[in-house]
Structure 1
Amino acid sequence: MYYRDPIFALIKSQVCQRMECLKTLCRCMQAVSPSNGLTGPPLLRALNTMHKTTLGFTVAMISTHLYAGGFALNEQGISGMGTAFAGRASAAEDAGTVYGNPAGMARLAGQQVTGGATFIDASTDISQASGRSSGSNDGDMVPFKAIPFGFYTRRLNEHWAIGLGAYVPFGLATDYERGFQGRAFASKSDAKVLTLQPTLSYAFNDRVSVGFGPTINQFAGSLESDLTLNPAIADSNVKVKGKDVALGFNIGVLASLTDTTQAGLTYHSKVRYDLDCHTEVATGAGTPAQLLSSNRYDCSLQVDTPESYELSVTQKLTDAWTLYAGTTWTRWSRMKDLSFSTENIRPARGGILAASLSGAIAGGLDWHDTWAYALGTSYRLDSHWSLRTGIRLDQSPTSNTNRSPRTPTGDRTIFSVGAGYDVSKELTLDVAYAYLKEESVDVSRANALASYSARYQNRASFLGVGATYRF
């Protein structure tokens, strides 16, 4: 859904160089069983080679998908959700402008508090599945999720305003059924960024204002895959967990071009996380201890969330009708390198395969910059009700060559409707619904021990509820 990772694309050159070693490895692994010994130079050499092509890069693969466009979330407001966030950088309708465009805070009167949550229900159809391992393809891999947010603004005088925001700009969750056929490439993912943003806004006059807010961001993730070392041995689980706190910033400008036209531009900075993480290995029943044993190892991982520019225009057509249009550019092409490092592991501690995890791993990604386009409108029905609708087109930064079962997403189209009800001058209630449908995409992954290919069709429903109180 809002969620993507490569493996062969990442290590293609290294795999080609070691293909003969991989063939030897596969023949040797077929002979491994609890009753077979693990002695002999050929097997030891093959297992050592495995580091760069299977288990080691499985861990790297687990990390890589975080760069995906689907990792970014739009759920930071309900009034904007009703118009598919078409006027997010230019509307400044409530305290959610702390995120949408901090310059808009200087346009809000008094003090305002905006809060709410978006509930996500996603489904996936998997067809034409095949792979080296047997298993199911239910497609029920995205758990029901709620994404909360909260914002506060206060206008100090005719020029200055302050604000505070708490929201989730990035996140993903996938949890395949036990026995999923592509489990070697994805079994479970749970990662999110929590952001706190104190913000300052200044209005030069009644036409132009600017805003700036540093962001304090906490990244936390837990990502898993299940490995079949041999059909006669139960799967082994590899999990990477880590977290870090890093700083970024948001900056924006808002201008009233005419009495009925507003334009806004917002920049969300790149944030780099240097995660102190650990790799947990849980071996399946029957796995020889000399090959791999359950243990926990320290590691480090570098993850970047990319910068983006958002430009939008709000045009008041009549006293009742308002039109919104917007576009967002995200610099996914910056994500060219992956840096992952594991502590030095002795074979006596975790087995031959665990020892081969030691050291640094680096690789390249083949992603491109993306554009999103949105168009929306609102209609003021009477003194209490406002009705909204919109459509959004969102490109994917990946292609069939670097898409995986962990985030099997493509270009998406989002349709939305919403309504606002003014209970009083102080209180407004908002509700919105959005339907997301993605193009059908093909997934094809392979490594020394597993392969998986399938066609995915994703869809999701979003229900948002929120409120704004003015005082």
Structure 2
Amino acid sequence: MNNKFNRLTVAAAVAATSFTGQVHAGGYQINEQSVSGQGYGHAGRSSNVNDATIVFGNPAGMSFLERAQVSVGGTYLNVNSDLNNVEAQQTLDAGVAGGGAPVGTQVPIGEIPGGNDGDMVPGALIPYAFYAHPVNDRLAFGFGVYAPFGSQTDYEDDFQGRYFGDFTEVRVMSAQPTVSYRFNDQWSVGAGITYNRVEGELRRQLPSGTVYDPAGDIDSRVDGDDDGWGYNLGVIYKPIPETTLGLTYRSKVDFTLTGDFRAYDPAGNVVRADNANLDLTTPETVNFSVTQEMTERLKLMFGASWARWSQFDQILVENNQGDTITQETQNYSNSWAFAVGGEYQLTPAWALRAGLSIDNTPTSDEYRSVRIPSDDRRIFSLGAGWSPTDNMTLDFAYSYLTERGTHVEQERADLLASAATNGVPVGGATYSADYKNEAHGFGAQLTYRF
């Protein structure tokens, strides 16, 4: 019996690309576009106008800024993962295992060799830069560069779940020109156009025989890129000077990913190459928040975000001729996130912040993957802003993210094929484990006003 790199193998590799790209947008959607906002858990993302990062938070807010300013910063994320109760089994068709013809039912035949060290997410710095320029009392322009989505998982070489995915890297960068207009002291609107560039690389291993030896595995890789356009809209309403309501809409972005598939043997030789196309749409989102000035020094904030993930119900991958390679049900659900936070002006130079966020995952237990073993999240944040002069503010923030423990359970039946059965899959693998993830975020930001 030997492993045949037929269309079925190509389909599995390319399907992994589509699944991972979309899940990163949901389970690991990046919120780090403002360190000043990070300090209060982004509770006032659409309503609290602090600095130029409002270009992302709510484009309508730029017209409430008094001076032109630039905000540059970033957050360093350190993620830790623990894996427990791991089970990884080789499977083989029951008929073939008994020395006969395939019967279509696979049975476990032994443990897959390898390890489960965890901590597969490298540390990453997420940078951003925003500029806002009030033209007059009513009109303002702005521009921003930031990362809305992105993640990386890199398991050890002999990871027991390597046949389902052992390396994932997805990067999305966005550039956003923005305009804002204030009708009066109560109402303001804004709009921005976003240019989005996505790049990704995904890997998973394929056994070269029935031994499932990691040293003899075939390394299958998919990489691709694309760009797409989107937009966002915002409105701010101040019924009284102490109360600010903000609403922001971000559109979906349509991508057509063009990917290249390559499979390498242990000596580095290419043993299979192909291509595939995938139409991918990230969901539209809505954010609402309210900022209430309780006293001259104290502000309290509340925010809620909604993402329309229910439109992502399947993966459809086709080759250049339009033939279907794979079609898989995903059945995502719409997701909500909530946040509360506050800011206290301790002195004219120092502002202190704190916040709590609850972020619900759109994924389901049935389709959760080793690539993104994510679940519902709770995020606790602290922050401070220091303004040594009227022209400059330095912001700092720390966030602790903890996820609900989650279970991953996957199986494949298409890893081995027999030449005697014309390539009919007769061998596969199963993997299950309990994951517990946590992360620490350290942010710093400089705002300079002209």
Task: Give the TM-score of the pair, scaled to structure 2.
Answer: 0.88
2:12 counterpart of 1:57? yes
Matched residue SS, 1:136: coil
Matched with 2:369 is 404
CA distance in 2 between counterparts of 1:281 and 1:257 reads 61
2:318 to 341, 345, 348: 341
What is the aligned partner in structure 2 of residue 318 from structure 1?
A: 295
Find the partner of 1:252 among 204, 225, 234. 234
Match of 2:63 among 95, 103, 106: 106
Cα deviation code 1:343-389 (max 9, x no counterpart): 57xxxxxxxxxxxx985322321110000000001110001000000
Q: Distance in 2 between matches of 1:245 and 1:148?
A: 20
Instruction: Tell me which residue corresponds to 1:364.
Output: 329
* Mapping 1:87-126, distance limit 5 Å: 87-126=44-83
Whole-angstrom distance in 1 between the partners of 2:393 and 2:84: 45
Aligned residue number for residue 84 of structure 1: 41
Deviations for 1:11-38, whole angstroms, at most 9, x for unmatched residues?
Answer: xxxxxxxxxxxxxxxxxxxx339xxxxx
Contact 2:13 2:221 (C-alpha < 8 Å) held by counterparts: no
Cα offset for 1:451?
A: 1.1
SS for the counterpart of 2:149 is: strand
| Residues 48-69 of structure 1 deviation map (CA, whole Å, 9 limit, x = unaligned) | 9x744x5522430232122222
Task: Note the 1:222-233 alignment, pairs <5 A.
Answer: 222-232=201-211
Question: Within 1, Cα distance between the matches of 2:323 and 2:121?
Answer: 32
Aligned to 1:75: 32
Superposed counterparts of 1:4-23, under 5 Å? none
| Percentage of identical aligned residues | 39
Match of 1:274 in 2: 256
Hey, what's the Cα distance between the residues in 2 that align with 1:378 and 1:201?
25
Q: 3-state DSSP class of the match of 1:90?
A: coil
Q: Which 5+ residue runs of structure 1 have no aligned equivalent?
A: 1-30, 34-46, 345-356
Aligned to 2:416: none
Q: Distance in 1 between matches of 2:156 and 2:49?
A: 43
1:194 corresponding residue in structure 2: 173
Question: Which structure: greater helix fraction?
Answer: 1
Aligned residues: 409
CA distance in 1 between counterparts of 2:208 and 2:7 reads 13
After TM superposition, give the deviation of residue 257 of structure 1 in Å. Answer: 1.6
**1:414 correspondence with 2:379:** yes
Distance 1:125 1:299 in 2: 34
Single out whichever of 333-342 and 411-420 deviates more from structure 2: 333-342
Check the 8 A contact 2:316/2:324 in 1, yes or no: no
Q: CA contact under 8 A between 2:40 and 2:354: conserved in structure 1? A: yes
Find the aligned partners of 1:208 and 1:294 in 2 and give their Cα distance: 62
Structure with the bigger percentage of strand: 2
1:434 to 396, 399, 405: 399
| 1:171-224 deviation per Cα after TM superposition (whole angstroms, max 9, x unaligned) | 111000110000011111111110000000000111100000000000111111
**1: CA distance, partners of 2:251 / 2:17:** 25
Partner of 1:32: 2
Q: Distance in 1 between matches of 2:283 and 2:368?
A: 19
Amino acid at match of 2:221: K
Give, in whole Å, the separation in 1 of the partners of 2:324 and 2:223: 18
What is the aligned partner in structure 1 of residue 192 from structure 2?
213
Q: 1:176 pairs with 147, 155, 159, which one?
A: 155
The TM-score, its normalising length taken from structure 1, stands at 0.84
CA distance change for structure 1 residues 358 and 134 in 2, over 3 Å: closer, same or farther?
farther
* In the alignment, structure 1 residue 328 sits paired with structure 2 residue 280: no
CA shift, 1:166, in A, is 0.3
Residue among 279, 282, 287 paired with 1:305: 282
Q: 1:150 aligns with which of 129, 148, 154?
A: 129
**1: CA distance between counterparts of 2:323 and 2:429?**
22
Deviation, 1:469, is 0.5
Quote the Cα distance in structure 2 between the aligned partners of 1:51 and 1:294: 13
Tell me if the contact between 1:393 and 1:413 (Cα under 8 Å) persists in the aligned partners: yes
Give unmatched runs, 5+ long, in structure 2. 90-111, 414-427
The answer (yes or no) to whether the contact 1:140–1:177 under 8 Å persists in 2 is no
Aligned AA (1:420): G
Measured in 2, the distance between the counterparts of 1:248 and 1:295 equals 36
| Aligned partner of residue 83 in structure 1, secondary structure | coil
Alignment-derived partner of residue 348 in structure 1: none
- Output the aligned Cα RMSD: 1.9
CA distance in 1 between counterparts of 2:259 and 2:17 reads 13
Partners of 2:27 and 2:362 within 8 A in 1? no
1:164 maps to which of 140, 143, 160: 143
Equivalent residue of 1:57, what SS?
helix
